[in-house]
Structure 1
Amino acid sequence: MDQRPVTQATPPGVKIRDFVAGPRLQIAFSLDGEQCRELLPPCPINKSSIQRASALREEIRRKIKDGTFCYADYFPDSPRAAAPKQDSSLMERLLQKQLETYERQVTNGRLTLSTYRGYAKAVNGARMRRWHGVQVRDVTPGMLRSWVSEMDCTSKAIRNMLTPLRSVFEDALNDELIDFNPFDRIALAKLIRQTAKASDYVVNPFTAAERAALLDACRPDERPMLQFWLATGLRPGELQALEWRHIDWERRIARIELNQVAGEIKKPKTDAGVRDVDLDASAIGALQVQRPLSEAKGSRIWLNPRDGEPWSTDAQVRKTFWLPVCTRSKVDYRNPYQVRHTYASTLLTDGHNPWYVAAQLGHKDVEMVFRTYGRFIREDYQKPKPELRNAENSKSV
């Protein structure tokens, strides 16, 4: 018998092992985070057998991904086949499977990376460990109600936490792992409304004196961005994504059609987010100063002064730019979003129409302007109180 080693090329995960009795094909795959290597039955080593080994490996990987792989079906003599089979109906496994679905949606362009990160944070967070070790069929509506009611967070945070969990139960019902979806037996909206923590966020605009102090505390390479931001009230991600092509110098407007979230450039969430923002003399002046600093370096207008590169995240702007400027100015710290609130409240205090302000902010209607900035709106734009409307109607009769 010819015992010379076989040297044929093999695809990823397939290897030819040489033994005294002759060469054998071996395939490798990952299961539950561990690397598995299994020898295939003896056979002639040729192109066809190598292709069959590769196809077998892909079949196994596909079943592992779907949660249907049984070790003993493929390798009954392997020590791993005797290990207890992990229960695919455990909540933690179903949650991870849901997270894998989200990963595929990111790859297919059906889910943004920032949204996926939010789901991953929820699935892997401490609160979700409440369900580890629990069979999906054993989760009751009462258990869910108790869990939700114990959350000490805002309604938005609760809803973000529940999104992947609700998907798990919807899939479990479709796969006949459960007889009913426990979420269908919960008055969820009412429960969240009764138990959610009220947001402690307060709209606290910067005064004219504070705005002047902030601008005075800026270095020359920092000031144009803050001056423009105060004059336009853009969302932080819109400011980061703004490009020179978006500036219409003749019409004195900035076209807002991109937003950057967690380093990812995408379109605004709503149609109203795509808009033209008017540029006053202060905004135009800031752009004119910035033009020689960044136009030749690329498409983005605003760059990180530390390295001359485009901003990548809100956190980078806050830590690298905003916090140092606030510290130097000795102005009481508020988060950067207060710049947007300052822009809106200043327009309203100056008597601008709330509908115009809503359009400049990128809101789909004026409701949020009245709800968020009602105390800054002049009386002539306020809606009459019911008793005043009735009195006016009686006079006209």
Structure 2
Amino acid sequence: MHLKSRDGNLYVRFFVEDREIVRSLKLEDTKKNRTLAKKVLFPELARKIASGEYKKVPKTVRYYSQKYLALQENMKSYRYVECRVEAINKAFGDKTIDSITKLNIKEWLNSFKIKNISKKNYLVALKGIFQVAYDDEVIAKNIASEVSIGRYEQVEADPFSEEEVSRLLAYANDEFKNYLGIAFNTGMRIGEILGLMLQDIDEDSISIKRAVSRNSKEPTTPKTQKSIRKIPILDACRPYLEDQIRRAREKRTMFLFMSEVTGKFYHDADALKKKWLSVLKRSKVRHRKLYNTRHTFATAMLRSGKVSVLTVAKMLGHTNSKMVLTTYSGFIEAEELKIDRGIALFSEGTKEGTFRKMA
């Protein structure tokens, strides 16, 4: 173990398994610091060498993926991240991280028969793994951050018609009928409805504070910060809501909806799938996902002309109106020219007009 001086700073030189290692001590080259290094730092370094800390460890993708997961373990979405990392390790796990190329990443992502928005989630995990390796100074740059997937597909909304809604409600029974009545008249996400507690509902509004997500042991906070919101109770929603509150109180439960199988709150929105398929079959309504109750609410509100796009966006829990306009523009184009042509934008009977008055 020897001291070296470089640019006025102290470095230590030592060997592990015939491999030379030079490390900066981050100290200026002074007599005092050389004494400190030999008396304090050398013994500590010897201990680390003896413990095997400086033995060469293969810097594989798997090695850094475990470090990445350790940084994510307190995240609400950890289970999903873990699944994506498992897929990444299946493809690249035993390869050294500096041997992976951008082409390797692109070809792997293209092998997935999924939407681009889903591929993005795998790319986010890859970027995180490569960033850990970059921070460890094993790679010169994070090549995953230079990979792009392309434009994400627009969400395909396929709302139910007014007649289809009537048929679905007519063929639904008991609590599931109440669920559909609430879903069609609030636009709430499936997990948000299943996460509702009686205390979240007052005379005129519903406060959305939590949601049920797949594999969650307990309801968690909703999808985004904007998803935490308060929405008005429409008159059409009230009968379904009041009947379900009555049922919940009879069962003496805190949650608005409880699983008939477990007697506890729903842990997974998929629990409603069997009931939904049964109602679709009996009502002879074309198959669509249960999530389309949300799209149906949004398009019906926009077509009514009684609420603004921004109001609809806020009721749905979106940050702004952009997503609403992008997703539902095709369903409201026919309404664009239905305006009151008698509207007066400027003052009549005066030469000055509105603009002069404002000046």
1:316 to 261, 271, 278: 271
Are residues 179 and 122 of structure 1, via their aligned partners in 2, closer, same or farther at CA, if it must alter by over 3 Å? same
Cα deviation code 1:142-201 (max 9, x no counterpart): 4334444554433322221122222222221222222333235x3x3xx3117x7x46x5
- In structure 2, distance between residues paired with 1:220 and 1:143: 53
1:261 to 213, 216, 224: 213
Equivalent in the alignment of 2:187:
233
- Alpha-carbon deviation of 1:318? 2.2
Residue identity in the other structure for 2:238: I
Q: 1:162 is paired with a residue of what secondary structure?
A: helix
Are residues 121 and 86 of structure 1, via their aligned partners in 2, closer, same or farther at CA, if it must alter by over 3 Å? farther
**Identity in percent:** 25
- In structure 1, distance between residues paired with 2:276 and 2:164: 14
Equivalent in the alignment of 1:373:
328
- Alpha-carbon deviation of 1:345? 0.7
Equivalent in the alignment of 1:159:
120
Q: Is the Cα contact below 8 Å between 1:88 and 1:94 reproduced in 2?
A: no
The question of 1:357 aligning with 2:327 is answered no
Q: Is the Cα contact below 8 Å between 2:183 and 2:293 reproduced in 1?
A: yes
Q: Is the Cα contact below 8 Å between 1:122 and 1:161 reproduced in 2?
A: yes
Residue identity in the other structure for 2:313: A
What is the CA RMSD across the aligned residues, in angstroms?
2.8
| Alignment TM-score, normalising by the size of structure 2 | 0.71
Q: Is the Cα contact below 8 Å between 2:191 and 2:269 reproduced in 1?
A: yes
The question of 1:137 aligning with 2:98 is answered yes
Cα deviation code 1:107-166 (max 9, x no counterpart): xxxx11xx11211111112x6422133111222334334444554433322221122222
Equivalent in the alignment of 2:68:
98
Q: Is the Cα contact below 8 Å between 2:212 and 2:266 reproduced in 1?
A: no
Equivalent in the alignment of 1:205:
159
- Alpha-carbon deviation of 1:202? 2.6
Residue identity in the other structure for 1:327: K
The question of 1:278 aligning with 2:232 is answered yes
Any unmatched runs of 5+ in structure 1? Answer: 1-68, 75-84, 383-395
Residue identity in the other structure for 2:165: R
Q: 1:248 is paired with a residue of what secondary structure?
A: coil
1:174 to 135, 138, 142: 135
Equivalent in the alignment of 2:253:
298
Cα deviation code 1:249-307 (max 9, x no counterpart): 1xx21112222222342223434222221212221111221222112422111223445
- In structure 1, distance between residues paired with 2:196 and 2:291: 17
- In structure 2, distance between residues paired with 1:309 and 1:247: 19
- In structure 2, distance between residues paired with 1:380 and 1:246: 39
- In structure 2, distance between residues paired with 1:339 and 1:238: 13
Residue identity in the other structure for 1:355: L
Q: Is the Cα contact below 8 Å between 2:190 and 2:291 reproduced in 1?
A: yes
- Alpha-carbon deviation of 1:310? 1.9
Are residues 329 and 307 of structure 1, via their aligned partners in 2, closer, same or farther at CA, if it must alter by over 3 Å? farther
- In structure 2, distance between residues paired with 1:365 and 1:215: 31
Q: Is the Cα contact below 8 Å between 1:91 and 1:135 reproduced in 2?
A: yes
- Alpha-carbon deviation of 1:336? 0.9
The question of 1:219 aligning with 2:166 is answered no
- In structure 2, distance between residues paired with 1:306 and 1:215: 23
- In structure 1, distance between residues paired with 2:158 and 2:133: 46
Residue identity in the other structure for 1:241: G
Cα deviation code 1:363-395 (max 9, x no counterpart): 12111111111133321599xxxxxxxxxxxxx
Residue identity in the other structure for 2:150: R
The question of 1:192 aligning with 2:142 is answered no
Residue identity in the other structure for 2:205: I
Equivalent in the alignment of 1:393:
none
Are residues 219 and 146 of structure 1, via their aligned partners in 2, closer, same or farther at CA, if it must alter by over 3 Å? closer
- Alpha-carbon deviation of 1:205? 0.9
Q: 2:282 is paired with a residue of what secondary structure?
A: helix
Equivalent in the alignment of 2:86:
124
Q: Is the Cα contact below 8 Å between 1:242 and 1:301 reproduced in 2?
A: yes
Residue identity in the other structure for 2:315: Q
Q: Is the Cα contact below 8 Å between 2:67 and 2:132 reproduced in 1?
A: no
- In structure 1, distance between residues paired with 2:56 and 2:253: 53
Q: Is the Cα contact below 8 Å between 2:126 and 2:144 reproduced in 1?
A: no
Residue identity in the other structure for 2:248: S
